[in-house]
Structures are given as C-alpha cells and as structure tokens.
Amino acid sequence: MTATVSNFYYGAVTPIAAYLMACLGAALGLRCTTRSLRRPHHRARWLALGAVSIGCGIWTMHFIAMIGFSVQGALVSYDATKTVLSLVVAIVVVAVGVFLVGYRGGSAANLAVAGTITGLGVAAMHYLGMAAIHTNGGLDYDTFTVALSVAIAVAAATAALWAAVSIRGLWSSLGASVVMGFAVTGMHYTGMAAVSVHLSGGSEVSQSSTSLLSFLLVMIAGPLVVLLVAAVIVMFDPDMMLGDDEQHAPALHTSGGDFAAHYPAQSSQPPHSW
C-alpha cells in the first residue's frame, strides 16, 4: 500500500527555519572565504571554518526540514550512525570545493570541477540522510526527480563557490546567501518530491513521534552550536564587518598556482589573528 507522505507536518515552520539555516551557513561561508583571501597566512583556517559553516548549514537545513516529514499510518525513526555520517559527508565535500577555489582560483574549469564534486556530495548527504530512515515500509524514488535534485545541487554548489571567490561586499554577500539558501532548500524539497513510501504489514518501529522529534533536535543541536560559534568568530574578527577586505582583496581570476603573489601578507594584522 502506498502511504500518504507529507513534508509539511508542522506547516510553514520547518521550511522557513530550514531556509534560514541554509542562509546562515552560506553567509558565514562567504565571509570566511573573503577573510581567507584577505589574510593568506591563515587562509587554510578561514577556508576550513567556511567549509564547516556551509556544511553544517546544509545539514541542519536538511534535518530541520525532515522534522516536518511524516508518513500517514507509520512511525519514522533514524539510524544515528548514518545520520552522523551524512554530516561528515556534507562537511568534507564542501571542504573539497572550498579549498579548490580558495587555492586554485575561480576559473571556469576549476569552478566546474569543484562545483560538480561539491554538488554531488551535497546530494549524497541528502540521500544518505534519507537512507537513515526506518519505517514499516520501503522508500522508492522517482528517477527523473532525483536527477533534477542532483542537477540543482551541482548548480547551487557551483554558484556558491563562484560567489565565494567573486563577491566582496558585505551586502552583496548577504544577498548571495539569500539566493543560495533558496537553491539549497529547493534542492532538498525537490529530492523529497521524489519520495514515495510503500507500507508493509506490521510496524517495525516502536519509537514515538515525540521521541523522534527529540532525536532530531538533539542531532541538530551540535551543528547549530558550531554555526553560532562561527558567527561569533566572524562578527568579532577585526574589520570583518567593516568592509575593509572588500576594498583590498582582489578577485580570483587566475587558474591555479601559488596565490602568495596575489595576496601579500598584511603586515598590519597581528600574527595570531585569524
């Protein structure tokens, strides 16, 4: 029997909250990447923080949205190991893309490679998170809609990486993060539109809806704390929010190689500062 599936069990609350998390992760990632170009001696640190921010933002968006996922006539639970693994996948693949453009530049070829890797990784995170679902039935996917969601993921990842190395202004970065939030959230709900659930006989799930909500909130808590810490680092970094980096940091138009010549050390910055 095919069950009725809803992605909006709590109405507009979960998609709006999910979208805001995607925007937050994107905004922090963009600002961290800008800072990495401003301070080449600490580029790796800023790129790593940016990758963690974007990865946590995407993952948190996914599982906040999944709070609104329900299957009529069945209870839903999650495999904790696969859920955590999907977070690791999100951070690692975003890091690959961010470090590629951070060190090799924003050429079309490099963006295509980095965007494809990151987009496929984001899609893998999404479907790995879906594979963590347990219910008294099986999940089936519409092939065309899955392919569309992967294409959106690749396009969104490529656009995000382009913005990371091309956009300097604070307000421009915030505008880009809003657009990226729409793209990432759109990818999620496109992927969810591909899902159908076919129920089997007896229920194999003993977990209540309350304990499921508690599980998801606990899982989300860690990445959310990471995002808040990253936001504090970004906000209190010297001149991060003042726009000085937009005036001095050049755009990445080179195709690769050592960026030391393009980003000379800023002697005015203290050696211990990120």
pLDDT tens-digit series, residues 116-158 = 999 999 999 999 999 999 888 788 999 999 999 999 999 988 9
Q: What is the mean pLDDT of the segment spanning 64-79?
A: 87
For residue 56, name the pLDDT band (cuts at 50, 70, 90).
Answer: very high
Residue 31 has pLDDT above 90, yes or no: no
Q: Which residues constitute the domain of residue 94? A: 11-200+209-248
Reported as a single tens digit per residue, the pLDDT across 235-247 is 887 655 444 444 4
Residue 214 counted as domain residue: yes
- Alpha-carbon span 49 to 202, nearest angstrom: 46
In a domain, 6, yes or no: no
Across residues 56-71, what is the average pLDDT? 92
Distance separating alpha carbons of residues 154 and 184, to the nearest angstrom: 10
Domain for residue 190, yes or no? Answer: yes
Domain-embedded: residue 2: no
Question: Does any domain span residue 267?
Answer: no
- 232 falls within a domain: yes
- Please state, in angstroms and rounded to a whole number, the distance separating the CA atoms of residues 206 and 267: 61
For residue 21, give the amino acid letter.
M
pTM strictly above 0.85: no
Q: In this structure, is residue 265 part of a structural domain?
A: no
When divided into structural domains, the chain yields a total of 1
Whether 203 and 74 have beta carbons less than 8 Å apart is answered as yes
Distance between CA atoms of 129 and 79, rounded to whole angstroms? 9
Q: What are the two backbone dihedrals, phi and then psi, of residue 70, each rounded to the nearest 5 degrees?
A: -145, 150
Confidence at 262, pLDDT banded by 50, 70, 90: very low
Instruction: Please report the pLDDT score of residue 151 as a whole number.
Output: 95
Taking a C-beta distance cutoff of 8 angstroms, is the pair 63, 93 a contact?
no
Does 15 map to a domain? Answer: yes
- pLDDT band of residue 270 (cuts 50, 70, 90) is very low
Give the model's confidence band at 210: pLDDT under 50 very low, under 70 low, under 90 confident, else very high.
Answer: low
Contact 126, 65 (CB under 8 A): no
| Both tokens assigned to 5 | 């599936």
Tell me the percentage of the chain whose pLDDT exceeds 90.
48
Looking at per-residue pLDDT, the higher value among 207 and 69 belongs to 69
